[in-house]
Structure 1
Amino acid sequence: MKIKLLTSVLLGLSLVACKNDKQTATSETQTDSVKIVAPKFENKGQELVYTMVQKVGDLSQLYDKKDVVYTYTYQTPDGKTDITTEKYIFDGQLSYGAYKKHERTLPDLSGLIEQGYDGNEFWLKNDGKSLTDEKLLKMVAFNRPTNFYWFTMMQKLLDPGINYEYLNEKTIDSVNYDVVKITFESTDGKPKDIYQLYLNKETHLVDQFLFTVADFGKIDPLLMKLEYETIDGLMIPTKRKYKASNWDAKVTDEPWIQVNWTDIKFNNGLKKSDFKK
């Protein structure tokens, strides 16, 4: 896949995942008057994903942080860069991005670009002036949920509406992995993305994963590689790189697209009014 196609998917890395999966059922046993809740899993794939989420920090732990502010840096192989201040309130999935550098996103515009979702409306501003172009607002409607989803992805892999399939074991560069396929139930009849997670047998983390970009008609996978950082008790995949691949996780000779999250701060006291146009 050409770099132009990859980078046209804006800052958001190109994924509109269905943000759905199957809730883990539970059973309860009584021991010395202490109730023990034991998960029941549909299959090995779901169990492996559950174990991973307990390692990085689950959704309740993330949402206990209330909100997050961080710097998002996206660089393509030609050296062009976007630098964004991202802000989210987890409850309601409110999202804001201030592009202080936008060599890939709307490069024809000068000055500060702001885009947001306030829980009801997607909006876009350039140097404080609202932009109402329908095509541009559709980009915002893609980008805001996508960036939010990337940040919360590991936790949301246990949402309702996900199908898990254990594929096999695989060794890559002397590291042993369990490979789990993730598909998302469609409620609108449109094709949904496919993930293929490579779960490190030793650390239980997702070291890398394959993904498609159904919203852009991209059914050939991209491979994303991750490096983690522990912040306020959560393991966050702050360093990322991706490029075209195949379903055996063999990448092309193309250079990597680099994405970094830095200066991550939780519990900033953000208010819903901060996300209004």
Structure 2
Amino acid sequence: MKLTLKILSVLALSLFISCAEKTKKEVKKTGAVVEEVEKAPIYDTNDPQTVLAAIEYAHGGWNDLWKKGDVQYTYNYHSTDANKTDISTERYIFSNEASYGHYTKHEINVMPDVEGNVTQCFDGEKTVVLINGEKTDNPQGNVVGDFLRKANYFWFVMPYKLNDQGTITTYIGQEELNGKTYDKLNVTYDPKLTGKEENDIYILYVNPETKLIDRFFFSLPFMGVNEPVIIADYEYSDVEGQMIATKRNYYMPSPNGYADSPNLVQTLTDIKFNSGFTTDNLMAASK
């Protein structure tokens, strides 16, 4: 299968966005003080939902992320094949999935032929796109902006989204990779809920020791890639108790297999939680 830069450009644009659920807690009473304590889930491959719950817990838990309120980081999205890059300041509000991106460099996904800075903002209901601070009516720019706002948010909270209602999860055995034995899960979505004939498919490689997803394969139905053949390798950093995928390498299949070097590299830096963002101030100047 030949995947071109066009595939890379929409890699972030075709994900089904579903509503996140909060990690369940148990209440522990200590004398007169009531504490909420995260209950470590059972990890049992005979029940794939427990594996997804363990993944959530290992990442720090949805409740912990929710309490942080919001996040801001610098996002570098680089195509090694084309030697082109998108660089943005990203901001998300977890309570309503509001999403902001301010692009100071945009050579791939975001209006590459336009001069100046591009800003996209989804307030939880609608998306606006600005060029150098002026709202644009460019149809393609607005469509791409709306997709990216929702997709970039999805990628950031992906460990929690995988355990949403409507996912169909199957344990498909183990595989050794780089000297480690991984548990593999097939995750897709219920077409009755999505209304789609072809839904995204993930093959997750879960490290049974850390409970993190070190690798996954996924499909891209939006571009006619209906089988999970694109590889994502993730590297994590602990940021205030949340395990964030701060480096993401993507590999595209070819008639000769996969290249040794990634076709696409994404890095997240300068991650900061709890800046007090609201839908009113989300587009304010960077702090």
Alignment partner of 1:6 is 2:31: no
Contact 1:87 1:95 in 2 (8 A): yes
Give the alignment of 1:48-197 within 5 angstroms.
48-77=51-80, 78-104=82-108, 105-186=110-191, 187-190=193-196, 191-197=198-204
Alignment partner of 1:235 is 2:243: yes
Distance 1:238 1:157 in 2: 19
The alignment covers a number of residue pairs equal to 267
Q: TM-score, normalising length from structure 2?
A: 0.83
Contact 2:23 2:56 in 1 (8 A): no
Q: Structure 1 residues 6 and 27, CA, compared in 2 at 3 Å: closer, same or farther?
A: same
Cα deviation, residue 254, structure 1: 6.9
Cα deviation, residue 175, structure 1: 1.0
Higher deviation after alignment, 147-156 or 38-47: 38-47
Higher deviation after alignment, 84-93 or 157-166: 157-166
Contact 1:67 1:270 in 2 (8 A): yes
Distance 1:127 1:79 in 2: 25
Structure 1: which amino acid aligns with 2:131? Answer: N
Structure 2: which amino acid aligns with 1:195? Answer: Y
1:246-269 superposed Cα distances (whole Å, 9 cap, x missing partner) = 9xxx73567421000000000001
Cα deviation, residue 21, structure 1: 8.4
Cα deviation, residue 6, structure 1: 2.6
SS at match of 1:100: strand
SS at match of 2:210: coil
Structure 2: which amino acid aligns with 1:192? Answer: N
Contact 2:86 2:103 in 1 (8 A): yes
Q: Give identity over the alignment, percent.
A: 33
Instruction: Write out the 4+ residue segments of structure 1 that deviate beyond 4 Å after TM superposition.
Output: 20-28, 36-43, 252-255
Q: Structure 1 residues 14 and 209, CA, compared in 2 at 3 Å: closer, same or farther?
A: farther
Q: Structure 1 residues 151 and 276, CA, compared in 2 at 3 Å: closer, same or farther?
A: same
Runs of 5+ unmatched residues, structure 1: 29-33
- Greater relative contact order (CA < 8 Å, ≥ 6 in sequence): 1
Q: TM-score, normalising length from structure 1?
A: 0.86
Cα deviation, residue 147, structure 1: 0.1
